[in-house]
Amino acid sequence: MAEKPARAKAGKGKWIIVAALVVVILGGGAGGVWWFMLRPKPQLSAQQLAAQREKLAHYISLEPFVTNVLSQDGNTHYLQVKIDLKTYEPKADEEVKTMTPEIRNTILRILASQEASKVSTVAVREQLRKEIQGAINQLFARESGNAAHGASPAKPATGEKGPIAGVYFTAFVVQ
């Protein structure tokens, strides 16, 4: 009869060990869930955010533009420009393709208003880049405003706001 109390104690010990293992396993699982899913993510530095954003950057090439420009010498002068648009938004390609006639018209209007003698300076070209960028982003803002609010006009966008992050002249010839 002495064997039965010893077996009872041995059975209780096994259950205690099994219960402890279950608690350890469940605790480890809960800790793993917290670690991989619920813990706060570390904040990225400004440099890391900029590098991450640059990975999304891509360029949209537009067909070359040729227009006559204002002239003080009485001769006809032409301006030939090749433009690439920089964007970080993947959907901007399709939007540019859809809005190409409006974009080209806007750019040609801006280019045709330039004077042949002044357009060759770096300062005028830089101002021209910013003006084109702002005008294109304004087209996008107006288009998204029309889509979201019927035919109501949207607020004008600045050159820095909008899907187009940069305008680059890859060829610029005044004749």
What is the distance between the alpha carbons of residues 91 and 113, in angstroms, rounded to a whole number? 31
**pLDDT band with cut points at 50, 70 and 90 for residue 168:** very high
Least confident stretch, 5-19, 39-53, 60-74: 5-19
Average model confidence (pLDDT) across the chain: 83
* 171 vs 10 pLDDT, higher one: 171
DSSP state at residue 164:
E
Each residue of 142-153: pLDDT tens digit?
887 765 444 333
Each residue of 112-139: pLDDT tens digit?
999 988 898 999 999 999 999 999 999 9
pTM: 0.65
Least confident stretch, 3-7, 60-64, 79-83: 3-7
What is the average pLDDT across 34-42? 77
What is the distance between the alpha carbons of residues 116 and 38, in angstroms, rounded to a whole number? 62
Q: Which pLDDT value is given to residue 4?
A: 58
- Which alpha helices (H) appear in 34-173, and where do they start and end? 46-56, 92-98, 100-112, 122-149
Distances (CA, A) of 53 to 41, 56, 59, 87, 89: 18, 5, 14, 10, 10
DSSP state at residue 156:
P
Pairing mode, if any, of strands 77-87 and 65-69? antiparallel
What is the average pLDDT across 27-43? 82
Q: Return the bridge partners of 42, or none.
A: none
